[in-house]
Structure 1
Amino acid sequence: MGDADNATRAPESDAQEPIASPPTDGLAEQSQPVTGEHCVTDRPTPNGQSSTGEIIKLSDIDVYISKPADYPHTPSRLLLLLTGGTGIKSVNNQIQADKYATEGFLVLMPDMFAGDTTPGAAITDDSTSVLEQIKIKAVEMAKSFVIDMWLARITPDKVMPVLHKVIEAAREQYADAVRHGDGIYAVGYCVGARFVMLLAKQTEKAGGDEESAKEKEGPYIKAGALAHAASVIPDDFKDLKAPLSFACVENDPLFPDTVRSAGEDIMSDANLEHEVQVYPGVPHGFAVVGQYQDSSIQDAQATAYEQMLKWVQDH
């Protein structure tokens, strides 16, 4: 798909610290985890908006749930929403879940970090002066080491078992929604976007003999949509089976163009149904609910939401 043409550069994206990209072949794994302020901070919540769901327990895991107004009297499809580092207690993330619920999805937003959200998370506002922005950036740079240490803890070995427990419990407790959608759908933002990809894989199940080794695991979702993914490596594109939609930021150091291009080739070679929309001039994190003074970023945010919503609705 072509680049979005309705966004201009946000002031904070100019201040973003550059991070080295992988080699140009796009196939080398990033040696260090990286993240940025837009994965770990919330924008100001839009005026007059508040969340309407609640936090429940599924398999002893905290999950924010948002239901359509007429559920269960009207059939709904089940949607997992996987967040960035601000987690399920972020009002903006909760409002994001509520938006999908108003479109007829029963939304489960699990605490995939087990309460270990990013340290030093704060609300950022692009209305501050240049000097204040510089001061804020200095503080953020001081926190960067701590944040990278946090991200190093958010590994598939820790997160995937949490997601599998939530999926297993959801299949039992919300079997009607799973059945109505003929499976589970997923959307993900920032760090959470990578785990949508991992849920979309089909892999061989390890076993003690040759026959059991042939058993397959996954995919765990029917279709997924991702916005400004972080920490994705080329191997994440291998063995994908569920259709995926990507809303990407142009020249995103957290999802380098070389990795994205290599991934597109892998998906095309595998005949995986997918779409990739690149949004120029917007900051990483732009698609998550939150106020921006720049109306073009607001427009891009709305466009990305419609892109992701349409994808899960159409599949």
Structure 2
Amino acid sequence: MSSQCCISGFKWDGAPTGHDTTLGDLNAYMAKATTTTSTTNSGEDDVAVLFIHDAFGWTFVNERLLCDSYAEEIGATVYMPDFFAGEVIPSDIVRDPKRWNEFDFPGFIARNSREERWPQIQQAAATLKTKHRKVGVAGFCFGGWAAFELGSDEYTPRLVDCITVAHPTNLTTNDIDKIGVPVQICAPDEDPMFTPEMKKYANEVIPTRGCAYDYQYFPGVTHGFATRGNPGADGERRAMMRSKRAQVGWLKEWLHGGE
């Protein structure tokens, strides 16, 4: 995972409205809808979204603000657990390349590898499944491979009901080969972590998997745009808003659709 693309970007203004809690043994940020949506019959507590953060982790203000928006617009309870065992990249370095060498990013990635974090991610999804009728996943950067793994057809019953990812990292052809739930990908034009070859593979293989698939392409933006884009730049702001609307619509369809 490249440190430059995974820790660059912008920190957004805003005050998150959710609160800290726990999910199983993990600390977590939780956001709940204040009102039910028109697509909800039995209330927002009936469905949940597991929000799997990018490299900045569960305390990053940008992603907490996204959790708040997703909860309200989907009509769901959104949980963003801490999958980095309390370790947090200082968010104030996000816009300052001169400070990126202050943080041991290679060591951080080694400590938070797939092998190390998958058991916690799987348990978080299993816990939500015991509390909610349906569970969707939104994964960003680090969360991309995890969302695909949760959506694998290897698990019976399914761990989750649908997934959406933006600029995924560490995604493998094996992850794509096994997807078994409705899947959406929000892919920027330039992304060293989700290469043209992987994009091509996903677009060739996923339609053969027998599950609903939505591929959203975002020209003129790079890796990290959905969680760390510049709201002051017209093109980036539009891409961020378009990505959020697409993901909200996808999760609403597969968590509330037909009700």
Deviation at 1:314, TM superposition (A): 1.0
Q: Deviations over 1:231-251 (max 9, x none)?
A: 212221021101111000113
1:242 alignment partner in structure 2? 181
For 1:107, give the aligned amino acid.
V
Write the distance in 2 (CA, Å) between the matches of 1:192 and 1:164: 12
1:66 alignment partner in structure 2? 31
Matches within 5 A, 1:1-315: 34-40=1-7, 43-46=10-13, 49-70=14-35, 75-76=43-44, 77-103=47-73, 104-118=75-89, 121-125=91-95, 136-140=96-100, 142=101, 146-172=104-130, 175=131, 178-179=132-133, 183-203=134-154, 216-217=155-156, 219-288=158-227, 291-315=230-254
Unaligned runs of 5+ in 2: 255-259
Distance 1:289 1:35, change over 3 A: closer
Distance 1:293 1:123, change over 3 A: farther
1:201 and 1:218 in contact (8 A); partners too: no
Task: Report the structure, 1 or 2, having the larger helix content.
Answer: 2
Distance 1:41 1:264, change over 3 A: same
1:41 and 1:122 in contact (8 A); partners too: no
User: Which deviates further from its counterpart, 93-102 or 231-240?
Assistant: 231-240
Write the distance in 2 (CA, Å) between the matches of 1:100 and 1:87: 17
Q: Over the residues paired in the alignment, what is the CA RMSD in angstroms?
A: 2.4
**Structure with max Cα Rg:** 1
Write the distance in 1 (CA, Å) between the matches of 2:9 and 2:19: 19
SS in structure 2 at match of 1:232:
coil
SS in structure 2 at match of 1:288:
helix
SS in structure 2 at match of 1:281:
strand
1:19 alignment partner in structure 2? none
Q: Which runs of 4+ in 1 moved over 4 A?
A: none
For 2:85, give the aligned amino acid.
A
2:11 and 2:91 in contact (8 A); partners too: no
User: Which deviates further from its counterpart, 191-200 or 216-225?
Assistant: 216-225
For 2:97, give the aligned amino acid.
K
Write the distance in 1 (CA, Å) between the matches of 2:17 and 2:9: 18
Percent identity for Structure 1 against Structure 2: 20
Deviation at 1:44, TM superposition (A): 2.6
Distance 1:156 1:44, change over 3 A: closer
Write the distance in 1 (CA, Å) between the matches of 2:250 and 2:31: 20
SS in structure 2 at match of 1:44:
coil
Unaligned runs of 5+ in 1: 1-33, 126-135, 204-215
Deviation at 1:153, TM superposition (A): 2.8
Write the distance in 2 (CA, Å) between the matches of 1:291 and 1:279: 14
Write the distance in 2 (CA, Å) between the matches of 1:262 and 1:70: 40
Q: Deviations over 1:26-63 (max 9, x none)?
A: xxxxxxxx2344533562323xx210111112222101
Write the distance in 1 (CA, Å) between the matches of 2:215 and 2:125: 26
